[in-house]
């Protein structure tokens, strides 16, 4: 969080100090001119600027959330570039103006004092409002880049509070700060940060399809750099430098940094040192001005300047949110599926789906020609209404209603004019998964044959009293079984016999029902004799042979394959990487390595289906697997694996982080390859 907070802290401190200095000079000028009665006008303008800035931030946040994914990328990319332009202009302006800021504000206040209350309100509003809008825009872009808001908002809050304290100190003549040096130093740092924001914005525009080169990588360190490490987090949070960057990102980052920093440094060298550290406050002597007569309640103007921006922002957010298509409710049931559906307008739409039948149903918005799915709701209970949000473009659309105990029904299709472009997921059928299932079952059959051979060897070692050899052969056999993870759901009772844990057994590790690999592991690494273990080894060999014989006749549901792509490593993170399954061998990482091999094999058979549906997903997952594999290999030295409880804090965090990232990137696979009923 603190890595993400620093850029926002710096912008909050700078912008807050700029705005605070302006307000300090305004207040001091009025106090010295014996016009304290005009201070509410200054604070009204400041309040209006703050209200406008907060409203602007709300509009950015809530309107972006209502856009489609692709449009969000473009929206964010454009605003990132705009934010960089604003920050750059602000840095150069303050470098030039720091020395003469007080004098310029004094002149404006003197003019405002002679022209009435409205002008003074406007002066303070414009002076503070610019900084407020720049701050809101930059905070929004940094929060989006960080993919979280707590860090950026915390950093900005601390920066603004510190700026307020500094301004109060300057106003009271308690502090003395060389503003020229301060704004020069922070300006140089902000230029570096802005270069990262520009690179992030360019990447957004590439992912949104506006700019080319989205797959042309100039830097790809994903296989060798741990994305969860402290240094990677620091570089990404502060500088927006990521392990993978396209050529456009690198050129934009380096070009901006080289040109802007050179111009900034040259300008600094040409600026004479400020004669005074503290801005010169106006001297006494300005004649007092009469207090204008009040023609309206004192509270009316402050309330108005806060209410109006908030109301306008609310209207923008409401108008930007996706509306129910046609303002109608669409029926979901076998009898009247799609009733009330009319051709919607192109864009992001919210459809109100109401189950008018007597069964819980699924409903999909589809292209009836290809069965491609644009949106879905599962488990819609009878009599209930839920919203389905989907992006509509040019094409043909229909509803497919799938009652829990009935046949799928497809509604009448409607045609939407305009250019095509809405993303959809082409569903898979059992036939589509039949080939991958055959290939994976063949892989499991080969693995089970190897397992039987290896467990026999393990049993021979134990019977002969070769316990050192038995420990090595135990690990070999256990890794073979672990690499078959996608099939464990089909092994029925054999899985508990072969690889069950002692959790929940009345006798724990000594319970008579605790058998298989983990029971033998406990004995081998806790000093039990060959005589105590030979019966367990014989039982393991028999169970492995029984599983090999039973597996070809067991029910292996094709829909389980996509689920296992995610679940194997979920179990790895929950059990192996916490040491929960370790019975003394310290080989949890070896088992995790075998689980990763099983995941890789599963993705190999699913690759043809995923390539046509999410080609970018595969490249990301491949990089994640390579990164995790490298981290595991680093803990396998001289034929020995580092025990999970002996991992250093950094190494443990890296492995957990890489596994978590791989899990996150694998999470779309079940939805992409879900078997859906068709009419």
- Closest listed residue to residue 239, CA positions, set 205, 189, 203: 189
- Closest listed residue to residue 35, CA positions, set 112, 99, 91, 89: 112
Phi, psi of 192, deg, nearest 5? -65, -45
Mean pLDDT in residue range 170-186? 68
> 138 CB contacts (<8 Å, ≥6 apart)?
8, 11, 83, 86, 87, 197
Establish how many alpha carbons lie within 13 A of residue 416's alpha carbon, considering only the half-sphere containing its beta carbon. 24
Q: What is the pLDDT of residue 76?
A: 66
In whole numbers, what is the pLDDT of the chain averaged over residues?
A: 79
Q: What is the pLDDT of residue 281?
A: 42
pTM above 0.85, yes or no: no
Q: What is the pLDDT of residue 289?
A: 42
Least confident of 83-97, 368-382, 419-433: 83-97
Separation of alpha carbons 304 and 48, rounded Å: 9
Q: What is the pLDDT of residue 269?
A: 58
Percent of the chain with pLDDT over 90: 30
* 3-state per-residue secondary structure call for 82-131: HHHHHHHHHHHHHHHHHHHHHHHHHHHHHHHHCCCHHHHHHHHHHHHHHH
In 607-642, which positions are buried (b, 16+ CB within 10 angstroms) versus exposed (e)? eebbeebbeebbebbbbbbebbbebbeebeeeeebb
Q: Which residue has the higher pLDDT, 676 or 545?
A: 545
Q: Which residue has the higher pLDDT, 442 or 179?
A: 442
Q: Are strands 395-403 and 414-416 parallel, antiparallel or unpaired?
A: antiparallel
Q: Which residue has the higher pLDDT, 207 or 398?
A: 398
Q: What is the pLDDT of residue 596?
A: 96
Mean pLDDT in residue range 244-254? 86
pLDDT per residue over 630-665, tens digit each? 999 999 998 899 999 999 888 998 999 899 889 989
Percent of the chain with pLDDT over 70: 72
pLDDT band at 225 (very low <50, low <70, confident <90, very high): low
Mean pLDDT in residue range 153-169? 81
Q: What is the pLDDT of residue 283?
A: 40
Listed as own residue / partner, the contacts of 571-579 with beta carbons closer than 8 Å and 24 or more positions apart are 571/485, 571/595, 572/596, 572/659, 573/656, 573/659, 573/660, 573/663, 575/501, 576/644, 577/644, 577/655, 577/656, 577/659, 578/644, 579/643, 579/644, 579/645
pLDDT per residue over 73-120, tens digit each? 676 677 778 777 877 876 776 666 655 655 555 565 555 555 555 666
Strand (E) positions, 417-530? none
Is the pLDDT at 236 greater than 70? The verdict is no
pLDDT per residue over 353-372, tens digit each? 999 998 999 999 998 888 88
Least confident of 51-60, 222-231, 387-396, 552-561: 222-231
Is the pLDDT at 571 greater than 80? The verdict is yes
pLDDT per residue over 281-326, tens digit each? 444 444 444 444 445 555 455 566 556 666 665 665 555 555 545 4
């Amino acid at each position: 969080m603190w890595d993400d907070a620093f850029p926002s802290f710096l912008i909050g401190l700078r912008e807050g100090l700029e705005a605070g200095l302006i307000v300090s000079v305004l207040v001091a000028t009025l106090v010295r001119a014996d016009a304290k009665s005009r201070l509410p006008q200054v604070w009204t303008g400041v309040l209006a600027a703050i209200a406008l800035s907060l409203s602007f931030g709300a509009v950015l946040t809530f309107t972006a959330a209502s856009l489609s994914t692709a449009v969000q990328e473009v929206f964010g990319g454009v605003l990132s570039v705009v934010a960089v332009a604003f920050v750059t202009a602000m840095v150069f302006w303050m470098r030039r103006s720091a020395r003469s800021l007080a004098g310029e504000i004094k002149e404006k206040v003197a003019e405002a004092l002679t022209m009435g209350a409205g002008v003074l309100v406007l002066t303070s509003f414009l002076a503070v409002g610019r900084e407020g809008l720049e701050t809101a825009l930059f905070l929004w872009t940094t929060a989006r880049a960080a993919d979280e808001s707590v860090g950026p908002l915390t950093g900005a809050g601390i920066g603004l509070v510190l700026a307020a304290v500094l301004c109060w100190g300057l106003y009271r003549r308690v502090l003395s700060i060389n503003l020229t040096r301060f704004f020069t130093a922070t300006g140089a740092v902000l230029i570096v940060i802005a270069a990262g924001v520009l690179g992030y914005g360019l990447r957004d525009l590439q992912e949104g399809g506006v700019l080319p080169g989205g797959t042309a990588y100039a830097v790809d360190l994903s296989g060798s750099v741990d994305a969860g490490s402290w240094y990677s987090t620091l570089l990404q949070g502060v500088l927006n430098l990521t392990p993978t960057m396209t050529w456009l990102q690198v050129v934009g980052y380096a070009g901006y940094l080289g040109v802007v920093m050179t111009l900034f440094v040259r300008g600094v060298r040409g600026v004479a040192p400020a004669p005074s550290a503290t801005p010169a406050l106006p001297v006494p002597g300005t004649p007092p001005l009469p207090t204008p007569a009040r023609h309206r309640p004192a509270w009316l103007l402050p309330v108005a300047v806060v209410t109006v921006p908030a109301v306008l922002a609310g209207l923008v957010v409401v108008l930007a949110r996706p509306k129910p298509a046609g303002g109608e409710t669409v029926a979901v049931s076998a009898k009247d599926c799609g009733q009330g559906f009319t051709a919607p307008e192109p864009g992001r739409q919210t459809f109100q789906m109401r189950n008018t039948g007597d069964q819980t149903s699924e409903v999909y918005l589809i292209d009836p020609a290809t069965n491609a799915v644009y949106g879905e709701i599962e488990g819609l209970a009878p009599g209930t209404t839920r919203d389905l949000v989907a992006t509509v473009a040019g094409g043909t659309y229909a509803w497919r209603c799938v009652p829990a105990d009935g046949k799928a029904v497809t509604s009448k299709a409607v045609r939407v004019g305009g250019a095509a472009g809405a993303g959809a997921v082409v569903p898979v059928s059992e036939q589509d998964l039949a080939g991958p299932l055959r290939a994976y079952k063949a892989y499991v059959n080969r693995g089970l044959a190897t397992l039987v051979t290896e467990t026999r060897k393990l049993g021979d070692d134990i019977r002969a009293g070769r316990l050192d050899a038995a420990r090595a052969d135990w690990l070999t056999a256990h890794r073979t079984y672990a690499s078959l993870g996608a099939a464990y759901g089909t092994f029925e009772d054999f899985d508990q016999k072969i690889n069950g844990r002692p959790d929940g057994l009345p006798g724990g590790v000594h319970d008579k029902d605790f058998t298989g690999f983990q029971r033998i592991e406990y004995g081998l690494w806790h000093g039990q004799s060959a005589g105590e273990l030979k019966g367990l080894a014989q039982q393991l060999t028999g169970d492995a042979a029984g599983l090999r014989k039973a597996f070809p006749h067991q029910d292996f549901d094709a829909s389980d394959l996509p689920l296992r792509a995610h679940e194997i490593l979920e179990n790895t993170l929950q059990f192996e990487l916490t040491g929960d399954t370790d019975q003394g061998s310290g080989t949890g990482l070896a088992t995790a390595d075998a689980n990763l091999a099983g995941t890789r094999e599963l993705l190999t058979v699913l690759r043809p289906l995923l390539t046509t549906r999410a080609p970018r997903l595969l490249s990301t997952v491949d990089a994640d697997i390579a990164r995790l594999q490298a981290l595991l290999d680093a803990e396998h030295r001289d034929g020995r694996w580092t025990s999970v409880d002996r991992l250093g804090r950094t190494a443990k965090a890296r492995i957990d982080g890489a596994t978590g990232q791989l899990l996150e990137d694998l999470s779309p696979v079940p939805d992409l390859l879900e078997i859906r009923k068709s009419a």
